[in-house]
Structure 1
C-alpha cells in the first residue's frame, strides 16, 4: 500500500451491554483520535437499562458514529460480527465498551501496517485504578507457533475487513478466548502478525462490573479452544497451554513441575508465576503486619 495515497477509512467496532457510562467514555476516546478517517459502529446487545436511548440521543448529530441494536442478547461476538458486516472501512479494529483508545491508537496502528503482515496489534496498558502496567512493550513478528504458545497480541488488532469476512468473524460458539481464537485464525490464514511496542489501548480492570469477556465457563472454553486448534499445535504448544490452564486455576508449582514446564520456553513468565506462588505467604504476612501491627501477628 502506498502511504502517500489518501488514507483509508478505519471502522471501529464496539459491542455494549448495560454499561452506558463506560460506553460513553469509550466512544469519546474514539472521537478523540488524531487519525481523521474513521467510523465507529456501536452494537447494543439488547441492553435492559437506558443505554440505547442515552447513547443514541447523545450522539444523534455525530455522523462518525452509527448505532445498531440486537433484537435479543446474543453475546459480544455476535455484536462484533454484526458491526464488521456493517462496516464501510477497508480496515477494522475493535474496542470493548469498558476500555479506551489513547488518541494515537489508529494512527500508530495504520503507520505500522504492511501487507506482508496479516494484521497489526500493539502493546497495551492494564489499568487497575491505582496501578498501571504495560504488557508486551517490545516489538515482535508474531508467528503461528509463537501465538499458540501464548496470546501475545492483546484482544484487538488492525486487520483488513475482507480478511475478517473471509474467516466469518468471531466464533460465537466459544464462551471465552474469542479474540485469541480470532487472531490465531488470522495468522494461520494470512501469515505472521506484527505487534508494535507503542501502547495505545487501555484495558480498564479496576471497576466492579464484570468485563464482557468474563465467563464462569472459562476453563471449559479453554478446553474447547485447545481442541479446535489441536491439529496445529506442537508438543511445546500443548505444554504451554497446560501451563496457562494451571495459571487460570492458580495451582502451585513444585520445583520439578517448574523445571519441566520451563523446557517449553516462556521461562520468565513461568519463573515469575513460580516464585509468586512460593512467596505468597510473605505477601499474606506483610498484609497482616500492615493491618494488625507486630503484636497482632502472634494473636489468633
Structure 2
C-alpha cells in the first residue's frame, strides 16, 4: 500500500508497452506562506523534489511582512506552471486556503505550510494508498518528523513504545469519536479528497484555525486512514501557530469553543457525546489554568449540555463564572 505509483510523467502510456496508463489523479498543493522567509526555499524545493508526476501548485502569500514575497516571486518565475495568490491584507489560514481551493482543479489537496517540508515520496505514497481505499475515505494522514529551526531532528510525532505501539494512538475508519476525544493527527501530513472539501465548502472562515473543525466535520461523513510512514517534516519554532494556544486574548480558544458547539450538534450517540465531554473537560482545565475565565464558563455550559459534569467541573465552572463578572 505504500509503494509509489509507477506512471511516467508526460506520457499517455506505460513505458515500452504502447498501452494506455492508469489515470494519475491531479494533486493540488496549496503552499501557504506568512513570514516564512527563513524556511521558504527548503519548503518549495521539497515540492520540486516530489516523485509524483501530476501536481498543481498554488503559492499563497498572506501579506507577509518579511522577505517571503521576493522568494515566492522568484520560484514562480522559474516555474511558470505554478499559480500565485498574493494577498494585500492578512486574512488568516482559513480564508487564504479557501481562495486557492476555489480556483484549484485537484482531485486531492495538501494544505502545506511553507515552514514545513514534504519528503520526496509523500504525494506518491498517499495517492497510492487512496487508490486502494473505498471512496468514503476522505483523508489519509501519516507520521511526521519534527524538526527545529535549523532542520535538525527533534523527534517523531508518534512515539514508539514496546512492540511498536504508537503514542498518541492513531485511528483509521470511523474516527468521529476519536477526533472529539483526543489529539492524534499530525495536521501537515493530511492528504484530503476534493469531495470532502466540497461538501464542507472549504474551511470555516469565521475560525482562527482550521484543523479541529475540519476533523470534526469531515469525520462525520468520511472515514480516515492512517498510513504508517513518515511523509513530512513539521517545523517547530516560536512563531508557529500551534505554539499560541490558550494564551490570554488569543482567538484560538474562542474558535475551539465554536467547534465544540458544532460537534455537539453532530453527535448521534451517547458514546459520541461522552467523547466530546472528554475534550470539553480538557479545554475547561486549560482555560482556567491560563486565566481565560469567560471561555472556561462557556466550556462548563457545554459540559452541562453533554451531561458529563463532575464535582471538580462544577467547582471550576462556578469559580470561572465569578471571575468573569
TM-score (norm 1): 0.73
Comparing 84-93 with 56-65, greater Cα deviation is found at: 56-65
1:238 aligned partner: 276
Q: How many residues align?
A: 246
- CA drift of 1:63 comes to 3.5
1:79 aligned onto 2:129 = no
Q: Note closer, same or farther for the CA distance 1:182–1:139 as it changes in structure 2 (3 Å cut).
A: closer
Q: 8 Å contact 1:16–1:76 — kept in the other structure?
A: no
The correspondence for 2:186, drawn from 136, 148, 154, is 154
- Please name the residue that 2:256 is paired with: 222
Q: Normalised by the size of structure 2, how large is the TM-score?
A: 0.68
Could you say what secondary structure the match of 2:43 adopts? helix
2:127 alignment partner in structure 1: 110
Aligned ranges 1:138-287 → 2 under 5 Å? 140-156=172-188, 157-176=190-209, 178-189=210-221, 191-205=222-236, 207-211=237-241, 214=244, 216-233=250-267, 234-245=272-283, 248=286
| DSSP-derived class of the 2:230 partner | coil
Secondary structure at the residue paired with 1:95? strand
Distance 2:34 2:137 in 1: 33
SS of the counterpart of 1:222? Answer: helix
Any idea what the Cα deviations from partners look like across 1:132-188, whole Å, max 9, x if unmatched?
123257663342122222233321422222431231111121123x11211221222
**Distance (Å, rounded) in 2 between the aligned partners of 1:75 and 1:35:** 29
Secondary structure at the counterpart of residue 77 of structure 2: coil
Q: Is the 8 A contact 1:137 1:198 kept in 2?
A: no
Distance 1:121 1:236 in 2: 25
Report the secondary structure of 1:30's partner residue: helix
Give the match for residue 120 of structure 1: 140
Match of 2:116 in 1: 99
Matched residue SS, 1:68: strand
Q: What is the CA RMSD across the aligned residues, in angstroms?
A: 2.5
